[in-house]
Amino acid sequence: MRPDRRGGEEAEVRVRIDGDRCTGHGRCYTLAPEVFGCDDRGFGEVAADGDVDPALEGPARLAAANCPEEAVFLEG
């Protein structure tokens, strides 16, 4: 982990969903419910601020790899 501007630690990996690509298959929040949720229409959304806990990086990557629209992005 690297330090952030607030003096704490910043996650190595961040996640985001491209809302223009997402069509609501739900694979992201099915495979990684700790990282993703869904809105009231069933479209995927990032459950927190986008920082991925190192223990959840595997499920987050699995969700990204299984998104049929390639709408899930991991950065870092």
**Helices (DSSP H) in the chain: which residue ranges?**
27-31, 57-65
- Could you report the per-residue pLDDT of 5-26, keeping only the tens digit for each? 445 555 689 999 999 999 999 9
CATH classification of the domain holding 17: 3.30.70.20
Domain annotation covers residue 6: no
Domain annotation covers residue 5: no
The domain tally of the chain equals 1
Percentages helix, strand, coil for the chain (3-state, rounded to 5) are: 20, 30, 50
- Could you report the per-residue pLDDT of 12-68, keeping only the tens digit for each? 899 999 999 999 999 999 999 999 999 999 999 999 999 999 999 999 999 999 999
Q: pTM for this structure?
A: 0.82
Residue 59's domain comprises: 11-75
Domain annotation covers residue 3: no
